[in-house]
Amino acid sequence: MIEKRQFYIDGAWVNPRAGTDYHVIDPSTEDPCAVISLGGQADTDAAVVAAHAAFPAWRRTSKAERLALVEKLYDVYKSRSEEMAQAISMEMGAPIDMARQQQAGAGLGHIKAFLTVAKDFEFIEPLGDHAPNDRIVHEPIGVVAMITPWNWPMNQVTLKVIAGAIAGCTMVLKPSEESPLSAMLFAEMMHEAGFPKGVFNLVNGDGAGVGTQLSTHEHIDMVSFTGSSRAGKLISKAAADTLKRVSLELGGKGANLIFADADDKAVKRGVLHCMNNSGQSCNAPTRMLVQREIYDQAVETAAEVANSVQVGSGHDEGRHMGPVVNEVQFNKIQDLIQKGIDEGARLVAGGVGRPDGLNRGFYVRPTVFADVTNDMTIAREEIFGPVLSIMAFDTEEEALTIANDTPYGLTNYVQTQDPARANRCALALRSGMVEMNGQSRGLGSPFGGMKQSGNGREGGKWGIEDFLEVKAVSSWTEGA
């Protein structure tokens, strides 16, 4: 069993001051795979003190100096990407091939993308021709608490840490206690890349402990959080007394609008997207809205695709779906599947219980419900598992009404060959992102939502701006 009982504070690995042990469970086997320490107030304080002390010097570094360190980190990460994939696969169950390509790969991709966009990012820029001596200065906000989830560990860590570092912020990272191994490996990479001490600090802990301590700490200037809407509300309340900035990337209940003229692969693509990462993605298209002319065929296709999805251990190579992260999540998904049955949705694939032949591990059957109505629990709540709800609609207006009838607003999807309709839907959908006809968002596109899906943006220049204050300066003398 791996032992990771130290924290990375002020450029060194240090023993916890007030830690308690926590066993990380391998979801593929249900066996403990690591022991970490959960920090206490003294550990949180030490990390914040280090970041606070490092901020004045770090904020004065040039963009070129910061980018040079990020470039070194990119090389270190690339050289250790197999270690990262193995860590992620073990701690949260992603099949190893998927962990290599998507999970570890996401971190590498985000580092590269930030390097690209930062080269043209101007921290001091003119206000406009009407005020030639006015400048807008973008300054780092200060010390940032970064609280990240277990479902896409390096995706979220790199979106926050790299953007914050480029902006000139110092930081304290609290990764999920379910996925600490990848974060601690990332801390090793930051150290190897040569970031000055105190710029990046890591303290393991849970939300009620270290998470709350960071959210209320007087020397934390900002909290950047990714996780559930429930936790996001608690963090916002905890941070209110100190009026710190809070950036939230929260849950979702994405609608996938499939019109009668959609391409032949639209339904299959939607099912597989929903099941990717065992359904544990906030931007998963979990509500499939299908125009009535093609509804019956779509339900049949969706059932066939779901039934063809293989489920297996995260340690096995191949194109299969792994387990969900832990017993709590497994039981929640089982309860919601049963709730769907009890409320009258038509089960066409999957159902309660583990897949055949898998008696140990948190494995969920790829599940599809048809004839779902938008007032059912499975259509309202974020299940965070491989469960798809299919609903019928007749008109474009009806589809948009159903899609927008949710407290969430992260990502929606549109499948149609009518360009004008695609554009109308993209503008009418109340979400931070809209993807159409299987085309993913481009490199550097911002990630974030509306309504109860959050209020921040990550990635691209918007991700850097999230960590910056705006200062207006008059009578600027160029070259002085």
Residues labelled as active-site residues: 249, 282
Number of H helices, E strands in the chain: 16, 20
Collapsing DSSP to helix, strand or coil, 52 comes out as helix
| Short-list 384, 347, 336, CA closest to 92 | 384
Collapsing DSSP to helix, strand or coil, 352 comes out as coil
C-beta of residue 397 within 8 angstroms of C-beta of residue 441: no
Q: What is the dihedral of CA 80, 86, 89, 92, to 10 degrees?
A: -70
φ, ψ dihedrals at 474, nearest 5°: -105, 165
| Short-list 368, 369, 365, CA closest to 345 | 369
Q: Which residues of 382-407 are buried (b: 16+ CB within 10 A; e: fewer)?
A: bbbbbbbbbbbbeebeebbebbeebe
Q: What is the dihedral of CA 369, 373, 378, 379, to 10 degrees?
A: 120
What is d(CA 288, CA 172) in angstroms, rounded to the nearest whole number? 39
Q: Token pair 């290599």 is at which residue? A: 100
Which residues, listed in sequence order, are joined to residue 433 by a DSSP beta bridge?
Answer: 411
Q: Which conformational region is residue 318 in: left (phi greater than 0), alpha (psi within -120 to 50 degrees), or beta?
A: left
What is d(CA 228, CA 225) in angstroms, rounded to the nearest whole number? 9
What is d(CA 334, CA 316) in angstroms, rounded to the nearest whole number? 24
Q: Which conformational region is residue 268 in: left (phi greater than 0), alpha (psi within -120 to 50 degrees), or beta?
A: alpha
What is d(CA 409, CA 422) in angstroms, rounded to the nearest whole number? 18
